[in-house]
Amino acid sequence: MTLPDLASQIVYGRIGWAIVAATVVCALWRGAAPLSRAAVAAILGGALALMALPGNLSPAWYLGLAFQYPSGLLVGCCLVRLTERWNGARRSAAMPPSLAGVLAVAGTLLYLDAVGFLTSGYYYAGFGGVLAPVVAVIIACACALAIVRNHGRGTAAAVLGAVVLFSVLRLPSGNLWDALLDPLLFGWAIAALLVGALRRRRRRVTDRSPSSHSDPDSASGPALQPIAAEHFTSLKEQVGGQ
């Protein structure tokens, strides 16, 4: 088990939390127009300056007390989101349903293992000298293949970056699972799944309901016209017979 250097952990924590904070600020933007590149750069620069403050003057100090360090995947997903904002996109592809589902299942298993409901030692396996490197190589190869084939390139790049960060610098904690998952990323995945489920349910309800834009007169008009024509012909025949 090789742990990262403490100085590199501190530097990574400051930069990582700055990227996460800038992404949150951009996500809370509700302006009519998308953020300009200058605004995105200013938000990121301000977050970096704020997190670089010494000691407990930095918000990274308190974030570290609560969450330790952001996972490499969380930082990567936030970078994908910031890149989308930089390019003027409003909708994010940083957390697709497939990734959210995997993170939700993995986070649940790790949580159950950590609190004692499971005793399989899943979390401590992330420190292993054999299993963790093998899993990291498999994930890296899968992400590289996805990037080459242009399948979810942004998400694959975020996962690959987290694995490379762990493999080279052992950040953030020397545990593979800490590089791929953390409480904030787990919450993001759960929220993405819930929002997706609500949207699908709303879409099904909308598809099943009758159209609210249809005109009642135009809907009943064609059905009543044959009846009116038949009644008029019958009346004409009666008058002609008399």
The answer to whether residue 41 sits within a structural domain is yes
Which tokens belong to 129?
A: 């000298």
How far apart are alpha carbons 183 and 110 in whole angstroms? 11
The answer to whether residue 216 sits within a structural domain is no
More confident residue, 210 or 127: 127
The answer to whether residue 233 sits within a structural domain is no
Residue 233 phi, psi (nearest 5)? -65, -40
pLDDT reported for residue 235: 45
The answer to whether residue 1 sits within a structural domain is no
More confident residue, 31 or 71: 71
The answer to whether residue 95 sits within a structural domain is yes
Give me the mean pLDDT over the 133-146 stretch. 96
How many domains, the chain?
1
Handedness of CA 15, 74, 185, 23 (dihedral sign): positive
Range of the domain at 72: 6-201
The answer to whether residue 195 sits within a structural domain is yes
pLDDT reported for residue 118: 84
Contact by Cβ (8 Å): 73, 185: yes
In angstroms, the Cα distances linking 211 to 104, 163, 203 are: 37, 49, 13
The answer to whether residue 208 sits within a structural domain is no
What would the pLDDT profile of 174-183 be if each residue is shown by its tens digit? Answer: 999 999 999 9
The answer to whether residue 238 sits within a structural domain is no
pTM of this structure: 0.83
Residues 6+ apart with CB under 8 A from 185: 70, 71, 73, 74, 77, 103, 107
What would the pLDDT profile of 66-107 be if each residue is shown by its tens digit? Answer: 999 999 999 999 999 999 999 888 777 778 999 999 999 999
